[in-house]
Amino acid sequence: MTTNIQELTIPDYERVIHATNSDTGLDCFIAIHSTKLGPAIGGSRFWQYEKTHDAIEDVLKLSKGMTYKNSLAGLNAGGGKAVINLRNAEKTPELLRSLGEVVNACKGKYLTAEDVGSSPADMQIINEMTKHVLLTDRDPSPATALGVIRGMEASVNFLRQEMAPGQSLKDLHIAIQGLGHVGMALARMLHDKGATLTVTDIDKNKCLEVKEKYDASIVEPDDIYDVECDIFAPCALGGSVNKETVERLRCKILCGAANNQLCTSMVGYALKDKGIINVPDFLVNAGGVIDAYKDFSRLPSDFHVANMIDGIYDRALICLKIAEDSDVPTNLIAEQMSNKRLNR
């Protein structure tokens, strides 16, 4: 049976499709939010969604976030995303090839890449059916984590009224929520910079590994919000910072790698009212896509990529300063900064 592709009309999105294939079990949504700056780039996320509505909501939020992320990072790329619902299927080579056919049907307007639940090997299989996939033999997690580090340094120095990165994270207490590839890389980098860590993850073995390697403290997943710390770093799935959890936070700074950390944009006001500096996720977690973009755009060198990731520090400082001067939440300021490149 061929793959069925249904077009969905969603305001403010260039294209949203729902693709299914009963033979392979494919059930996916692809959202192309914007191609104003170039082809929409965003990973393929494999997850078990209880309801179709949850998958649609996720792909719309994630693709819009990619537009902001790629714009702020200075990339000539738009924002898109694919989510594949594994509620009633397993990720098999046949399913991946079906996804490749759907990506190919987007005719270069959308380039997919590795994301939650997918791997470089998966991308190779998808590549059998389409050239519109970012292939790399590098783990993008360290690059993503490095961008988060730069955002942390910027926010700490903003509080201290210092203007250069350096030893600003030494002896700070940082709570990490989620120890996936990026969370693990972040823990290692923070330990190397002399930070004290408290961590949590649903996988206890990962917590024990970080405790053994980096002398981290461990708390239960729901208790991470109550940890008194300098920086709270969400590195799991999005939406963990909501009206209820903000009330529990005992940090000075919110800065992590997870996409869509704020349940809604209005949560930014709650953070501001509580005096917590929020370094917007789509500003600081761009390191991975910058690294992947290098191969697509033929950027001249790894040094140039490092410079682009280091630029997150300056962009974060600008965002924090404008937010302070205008008394507007940082997430809304970062959106405005992104929209300037988009002429919105």
Q: How far, in Å, CA of 342 to CA of 344, rounded? A: 5
Residue 298, classified by CB atoms within 10 Å of its CB into exposed (0-12), middle (13-18) or buried (19+), is exposed
- Read off the amino acid at residue 197: L
- Mapped onto helix, strand or coil, the DSSP state of residue 29 is strand
| Domain 4-126: homologous superfamily in CATH | Leucine Dehydrogenase, chain A, domain 1 (3.40.50.10860)
Give the whole-angstrom CA distance, residue 188 versus residue 214: 7
The pLDDT, as a whole number, for residue 102 is 98
Give yes or no on whether 4-126 and 141-342 have one common fold: yes
| Cα angle value 161/166/167 (rounded, 5°) | 90
Domain boundaries, the chain: 4-126, 141-342
Catalytic: 64? Answer: no
Look at residue 1 in the predicted model and tell me its pLDDT.
59
pLDDT of residue 164: 58
> Distance of CA 326 to CAs 6, 31, 115, 203, 330, Å?
44, 33, 35, 42, 10
Q: What is the pLDDT of residue 59?
A: 97
Given the residues 61, 64, 69, 81, the one annotated as active site: 81
CATH no., domain 141-342: 3.40.50.720
Mean pLDDT in each 10-residue stretch from start to end of the chain (344 residues)?
Answer: 90 97 96 96 95 96 96 94 96 97 97 91 96 87 96 94 70 96 97 97 98 98 97 94 97 96 96 97 95 74 79 96 97 96 84
